[in-house]
Amino acid sequence: MVKKIQQVRAGVALIGAGMIAKTHVAALSDAQDVVELCSIISRNPEKARYLADYYHGPIPDFSSVLDAIADNPDIPIAIVATPPSVRKDVIAKLAQAGTHILLEKPLGRDPQEARDVVDICEQAGVKLGILFQHRVRPPAIAAARHVASGNLGHLGLVEISVPLWRDQSYYDELGRGTYARDGGGVMITNAIHSINLALSLTGPVKRVQAMTATTPLHNMEAEDFAVAGLEFECGAPGSFVASTAMFPHRTEVIRLHFERASLKIDKNALKINWRDGSTDVEAKEKGADKTNPLLGGKHEWHQAMIEDFVDAVRHGHKPIVTGREALASHDFIAAIELSSRTGHPVDLA
């Protein structure tokens, strides 16, 4: 039986106590009007205890085993933030018990594993939401509104740029940047956010021609650089470049060139250059209004995704990003990997 939200505040379990779990605890603390963090599960109890100390309120039990969470009718939602290599069995157990799942990206380490996760949740009748928090950034929301209006005309060209820097210490964490744990490198771990946002605005990609590489700047198994030429189903060409070897670190940027205007979308603002020469700047970020007490960084995008997912479970609508929608990002990455290996274009049809 699928669990329902019985209380005013939805009971939530956080599964996984790694780096991103800190952001979740901060977001859950600020979302206490709609959620209550009931449990934190980690293979390392000390990490769970550390996170529990920063939650704004008591956590009834931060050492519960997964079976107890799955069987608890007062915990209808689980946030799964484990590494991709250990989450499929966790999701299966939760879904079979009727627990709705908000999942940190990616869905899986490869497209088949991602589809398995989607199928598990759909067959169990539980909701599966994916945490692509770039989708709730104000510039992204404003861009989606303009694209949906039809006032921009036809899409003519797409640029997706993810110019990031990660020190070697980032990849020294056990398993990071490997296919066995993460499923790949910069694309599936970092650039997938921009890929998902871009595809939500452009529609599907028809064909890719690509190259990936591991630069001498990192000691890692998977790629830290990827570049591709794109052909979209709407007829527009495009480019994609992503790396964690680009110093200094810069923000991700998506540029969409339409018939009547060009949009520049990053985390700071939406800039619109109209063909008549005028320029608009919308959804400009004012700074960090909310800060993560553990990291000193922003967490309101995660909070917005959590609150939307709770509302989706409570009222029966789709979350911002469903598991099935997220499959397109995995297919995009797999096509680039295949094109790089073969040296040939890859069709996504």
CATH number of domain containing 233: 3.30.360.10
Q: Do residues 80 and 163 both lie within one domain? A: no
pLDDT digits (tens, 9 = 90+) for 116-167: 999 999 999 999 999 999 999 999 999 999 999 999 999 999 999 999 999 9
Residues 171-193: what's their mean pLDDT? 97
Residue 53 lies in a domain: yes
Q: Do residues 179 and 73 both lie within one domain? A: no
pLDDT digits (tens, 9 = 90+) for 322-333: 999 999 999 999
Residues 254-265: what's their mean pLDDT? 98
Residue 258 lies in a domain: yes
Q: Considering the chain, what is the average pLDDT of its residues?
A: 94
Q: Do residues 207 and 343 both lie within one domain? A: yes
Residue 48, CA distances (Å) to 32, 44, 45, 80, 88 in order: 19, 7, 5, 14, 21
Q: Do residues 20 and 57 both lie within one domain? A: yes
The model carries a pTM of 0.95
Q: Do residues 196 and 342 both lie within one domain? A: yes
Residue 323 lies in a domain: no
Domain that holds residue 311: 10-133+304-318
Position with higher pLDDT, 46 vs 312 = 312
Residue 118 lies in a domain: yes
Q: Do residues 200 and 343 both lie within one domain? A: yes
Q: Do residues 235 and 108 both lie within one domain? A: no
Q: Do residues 148 and 253 both lie within one domain? A: yes
pLDDT digits (tens, 9 = 90+) for 211-258: 999 999 999 999 999 999 999 999 999 999 999 999 999 999 999 999
Residue 173 lies in a domain: yes
The full 3-state SS of the chain, as one line of letters, equals CCCCCCCCCEEEEEECCCCCHHHHHHHHHHCCCCEEEEEEECCCHHHHHHHHHCCCCCCCCCCCCHHHHHHCCCCCEEEECCCHHHCHHHHHHHHHCCCEEEEECCCCCCHHHHHHHHHHHHHHCCCEEEECHHHHCHHHHHHHHHHHHCCCCCEEEEEEEEECECCHHHHHCCCCCCCCCCCCCHHHHHHHHHHHHHHHHHCCEEEEEEEEECCCCCCCCCCCEEEEEEEECCCCEEEEEEECECCCCCCCEEEEEECCEEEEECCCCEEEEECCCCEEEECCCCCCCCCCCCCCCCCHHHHHHHHHHHHHHHHCCCCCCEHHHHHHHHHHHHHHHHHHHHCCCEECC
Residue 195 lies in a domain: yes
Domain count, the chain: 2
Look at residue 287 in the predicted model and tell me its pLDDT: 57
Residue 293 has pLDDT above 50, yes or no: no
Q: Do residues 181 and 236 both lie within one domain? A: yes
Q: Do residues 226 and 308 both lie within one domain? A: no
Residue 294 has pLDDT above 70, yes or no: no
Q: Do residues 156 and 97 both lie within one domain? A: no
CATH number at residue 48: 3.40.50.720
Residue 40 lies in a domain: yes
Q: Do residues 193 and 59 both lie within one domain? A: no
pLDDT digits (tens, 9 = 90+) for 45-96: 888 888 888 887 778 776 678 888 999 999 999 999 999 999 999 999 999 9
Residue 181 lies in a domain: yes
